[in-house]
Every structure is written in structure tokens, then in C-alpha cells.
Structure 1
Amino acid sequence: MNVHAAPMYSFGIIGDPQYADKDNGNVEGRVQRHREVPGKLKQAVDSMLNHAAEPLSMVLLLGDFIDGRFDEAGSQEDLSLLAGILEGLNPIPTFHVIGNHDLAFTTREHWFKTVKAPLKSYYSRSFAPGWRLVVLDTTDMSPHSGYPPGSPEAQEAAEYLKNHPQTDQDPQMTDWNGGVGQKQMSWLKSELAAAAAAGEKVITAGHHPIGEGSSRRTHTAWNWRELQDVLTSKQYTVKLHLSGHDHMGGYSFVNGVHFVTMEAMLEAPPGSNAYAVACILPDSIEIKGVGSAKSHFLPFK
């Protein structure tokens, strides 16, 4: 690779802001600095808007935009505050992945409306010539999907959880994880086939990690094996999958596809931050982490 080659395209990445107007939390010895998130998000927005190299093609948020307080009104206040900060990115397009915390104490409809996202939790967009973003909803099949009891989505989730109990081999089968239902799975395959037919390379994204080794097994999507098999199929052109959820971050390379789990902005140390800018080159993607977000060089193989 010519290390001096200018990036073809660049885009921003933010994982798990998970804001709430509440005191710090502590999970597994890691501090969750909820009230520091608005300032850190504003810093990331300003940096991305004034990106020195070239204008960013998009900014991708990997879910858990908010943490969810124990009442709907408080959660909606938190969501509105962050959404207002994110508006500072205009005119750069922003694309949201929906996370499990996002739906804890607010409805899907309110969440979509507040972040000004289309009323669709999984979708596909061309973000640069020759490149397609495919966003998955790994809360689609879960107890916290936001779908009403008795709906086809809620029934599919209950049935899947019943037929796939948590075991040592499947520690991901908890109610705070989730997966992709069969309707969405069929859609995913059709989108990847269409991208391949059009000669487009693909970046996929979803909140819960999918690639084996890219996160702790306790944090993967329910049906990560099936999803991994789809994304790494040689008939498709996926180069990178991005996820959040496991705040510690992670990376793996499986059958030609890079799987990157982004470190959480929520847990960035005081005076630091956690976000990244990805630069797409002819033969690779370089993710340049800021603060506690790791950097990755991802050659196409």
C-alpha cells in the first residue's frame, strides 16, 4: 500500500455514547461517566465537522445513543439533548444503529423521530461511489425490541429464546442481547446480493457484535453464527462489519471480513474521548482512533 496515498473517502464512527442525566456507574470495575457524554459528543462533532483532510462522507453511530433512565420523560429529555448536539454535524449525513438501551424507556417511533432517522431500523445506503452501508437491527428479535406483545416480531423473539437457552456454548442468550429475525435476514441477503451485482464493496453495522473473537461471547448477537456465515460468504463483497455494545471494544478477522467493535464513548477517561475516523483507501481501510478508541489497519484480502 502507498502510505502517502490520499483517502478515497472518510467517515466518522461513534460507539455507545449511552448518555443519561445520572451519576456515574461502575460495571466490572469500569466507570461509566454518563454526564460527561454531552461534552465529549460535542467535541467529536466539532472535530468531525472540521476534519482537516477532507469532508466526511458520513458519521455512523453504533447504538446505545442514550442509556435510558427509569422513566420515559427523562429518557426523552436525554435523547433530545444528544440529538440537538448531533445536529451540529449538518450537512454531513448521520446514520444510526439502534441499540438495546435506546429502547429501554422510549418507543421506536419517538426514538426515530427525535434523531431524525427514517422509520426503518434496518436499511441500506450508498455513501460513496462503489461503497454501500448496510445497517442491521440486532434488537429486531429481542425482549427489548419495542414491538408490542403479540406482534410477529415479539412472538419470533420469544420462540427463539425458548428454543435456544443460555448455555456455556451460547452465553449470549440473555435478555439484554438480541438478534436478527428471518424477515430481516432475507432482506440482508438480498441487499448484499444487489451490492455484489452492482460491483459495490460493503460495510455492515449493527449494535451487537457478530464476528467470532471481536468481542466477549457474552455480548454477541443471539444468532451471530448465522450472521457471520452470511457476511463472510464469498458470493458477497463485505469488507468490514462495525459494532458497539461491548464497551471494551475488540477486533477479529474471519474469512476475509474485518470485524471491529468500537470502544464506548461512555467509558472514555476524564479529559479524553472515544471516537474514530475511518479512511477508505483503494486496498484497505484505516481506522484512526481518538482517545481510548483503538486504531486499526484493515487491508483487503
Structure 2
Amino acid sequence: METEAAEVNLCFTFGVIADIQYADTENGFNYSRTRERYYRNSLHLLRSALHEWNEEVITPRFILQLGDIIDGCNSQLKSSDHALQVVINEFAKSPSPVHHIWGNHEFYNFNREQLLNSALNSKHLGNGKLFDNGDSNIKSDLDPDDPNDPDAFYGYHFSPFPKFRFILTDTYDLSVLGRKKDSKKYCYSLQKLKSNNRNENLNSPKGLDGLNSRFLAFNGGFSQEQMEWLNKILTFSDNNQEKVTVIGHLPVHPYSTDPMCIAWNYDEILSVLHAHTSVVCFIAGHDHDGGYYLDDHGIHHLTLEGVIETPPESHAFGTIRVYEDRMILKGRGRISERVLHFDKHK
């Protein structure tokens, strides 16, 4: 009877999967050569996840693909376009729309202009304009001035159910990956990186202790423009009494991930999130071991385990069931089940 009552109160469900990193090549190892990576098998695990989502009694309202959909080695293999198409063809079998986040491996294979014109640009699934309580009057349009400008694109938002909003962010807005070397953001990012990492190899954490180890070339950060954009959306959500989940490839809380996997200016983005009562969760990928932390502002920081380092006999995906007062993550394989309560006193 409890289960039936819970289903009555269910608002919607959605799927989550991270770091598929497919490549048609033999297994390899991670950067430190401590973990095996199952390049071909990652496609089989994606198929399994899609099959289970398709078989669920309640079809997920949407799927969040949290970045690194194909591996960077495809660039060396000259197979980036083909590998991406193979994975996109699998996602096409989903009855649910798929929202894509861009991670570092996207930028190993493509530049920003290419991504904007690819299947990984899912911005058309967003609600660019904000509405107040379903009113047809448009209260605000917070899209960048030119949606086709790779320097201006940094995410979108959508509302799948009344009083719930999801915001997809670009954690590589500041980055040395994917940007033209004469662009303002590239130059700023390179300076920031080199001022904190003196190694010749900017992906090496040698000599970097604790949180300083985040200053690596495979990480990135949020521009001031993106944080202002995010702040405006969250202000609307505060006033509209919404519950907001923010999504990015890089985690933003030190206790939800390895220090080597966190966004460069995590402290700045946390200040933005903590200034708003509407934020209930931040979902990320990137750290293949996953992680979780409930911070002192009542925000759940959920980092999904990566498909790429998941053995063939296991799984790494989940379905999140959303209620008025909580979200329940039903993880499969390496991903734990969790109950994420919304703080009523925020």
C-alpha cells in the first residue's frame, strides 16, 4: 500500500547516465593507469540502460546524458564523427528526449562550432523563456544575445513539470579546450591555468596539493557572464517557488568528488547556488568513481559513476523519481540508491 501511495504522489521520473566514452577499440586504462576502461563494452551498457528505461512502468520524462559521450581516443583514430553517430543512433531508440552536457572528451573530438551544429546541441529541448505560474505572459527571456555564437552559448533550462526546473550549465565555458586560441576566453583560461599549474604538461597534478590539483587542462570553469545568467534564472525560480536541479559535467563541491575533478572556480559557483532558496540539487559526472554530499545549504551534490570504467557484468545508470518533497535515485550496478529530501526550511 505504501508503494501505491508513493506512486500516486509521483510527479515524474528521469534517467541519468555519465561518461560513456565509447570507442571502437581495445580496452585501455585511465590517465594514471590504475583503472581499466571498457571502450566497446560502454555501448553495450548504454543499450542495457535504454532497454531498462524503455521497460519501466512509468516512462522517464527525459534522459540526462552528463557528458563524455565518446572517448578522446576517437580523435587519434580519426573516428570522432562515426563514433558519435553510433552512440546517437542508440539514444534515438529512447522514447524520452535526451539532454546532452558537454564534457572534456567532447572537446577532444570537436570544437565549439562543431558541437553547436551537432546532435549534442540539445538546446532546442529547453524553454528559453520563463513563465510565471503557467501564465502566458512572458516574464523574461534569458537566452544569450546570439545563440549561434560559440562564445555566448553556455547552457539552457527547462521545466518538465510545474514548479520544477532543470538548468544545464557549461563547466567548460572557461577552458583551453575547444576554443579558438585567439579568443578572449581561451587566453584568460590559459593564463589562469598556468598561474596555478607550473608543470609543462598541464594535465599533470605534480606538485599540486589538495584542491589546487583541480587546475588541470581537462577541467574548466564558469565565466562571469554564465554566472550572471544562472543567477537571473534562479532569482525567477526563487520568486516562483520552484525546485531547481542544476547540471554540469564537472562537480562543484569539494566533498562530492576527487579534488582533481572539480571546477576551477567551484567556490564562485557555489556562492551563486547558495544565494538561492530554489536550488535543491547539482548533478555531475567526470569523476568515474562517483560521489555524494549534502551541503549545509541543503543542496544535494550528486556525482554519477562513469560507464567507461564499469566492468561488463555490472551497470552504471539510474532512474530518479521526483516527488514534491524528495527525489529517489534508483541506481543500477555501481550507482547506489539514495533518497534526496528537499529541505522545507530553506
CA RMSD after TM alignment: 1.8
CA distance in 2 between counterparts of 1:126 and 1:283 reads 17
Larger radius of gyration between Structure 1 and Structure 2: 2
TM-score (norm 1): 0.92
Per-residue CA distance 1:43-88 (angstroms, 9 max, x = gap): 1112112322x12111001110111223374111111110111011
AA partner of residue 250 (structure 1): G
Per-residue CA distance 1:149-197 (angstroms, 9 max, x = gap): 1112212312332454474242100111111111111111111111112
AA partner of residue 45 (structure 2): K
Partner in structure 1 of residue 267 of structure 2: 225
Moved more, 147-156 or 16-25: 147-156
Say which of 171, 177, 186 aligns to 1:138.
Answer: 171
The answer to whether the Cα contact below 8 Å between 2:11 and 2:161 also exists between their aligned partners in 1 is: no
Aligned length: 296
Unaligned runs of 5+ in 1: none
What does residue range 1-301 of structure 1 map to in structure 2 within 5 Å? 4-6=5-7, 7-27=10-30, 28-52=33-57, 54-68=58-72, 69-71=74-76, 73-90=78-95, 92-112=96-116, 113-115=118-120, 117-118=122-123, 120-144=153-177, 146-165=178-197, 167-168=208-209, 169-233=211-275, 235-254=276-295, 255-301=297-343
AA partner of residue 275 (structure 1): F
The answer to whether the Cα contact below 8 Å between 2:298 and 2:342 also exists between their aligned partners in 1 is: yes
TM-score (norm 2): 0.81
C-alpha change, 1:165 and 1:22, in structure 2 (3 Å) is same
Per-residue CA distance 1:17-45 (angstroms, 9 max, x = gap): 01111211223532110101111111111
The answer to whether the Cα contact below 8 Å between 1:11 and 1:58 also exists between their aligned partners in 2 is: yes
CA distance in 2 between counterparts of 1:215 and 1:24 reads 25
Per-residue deviation, 1:281 = 1.4
AA partner of residue 151 (structure 1): S
Task: Say which SS state the counterpart of residue 92 (structure 2) adopts.
Answer: helix
The answer to whether the Cα contact below 8 Å between 2:154 and 2:226 also exists between their aligned partners in 1 is: no
AA partner of residue 329 (structure 2): I
CA distance in 2 between counterparts of 1:116 and 1:96 reads 7
AA partner of residue 63 (structure 1): G
Per-residue deviation, 1:269 = 1.5
Per-residue deviation, 1:138 = 0.7
AA partner of residue 156 (structure 2): Y
CA distance in 2 between counterparts of 1:109 and 1:85 reads 24
C-alpha change, 1:130 and 1:72, in structure 2 (3 Å) is farther
The answer to whether the Cα contact below 8 Å between 1:122 and 1:137 also exists between their aligned partners in 2 is: yes
CA distance in 2 between counterparts of 1:242 and 1:15 reads 10
CA distance in 2 between counterparts of 1:94 and 1:162 reads 36
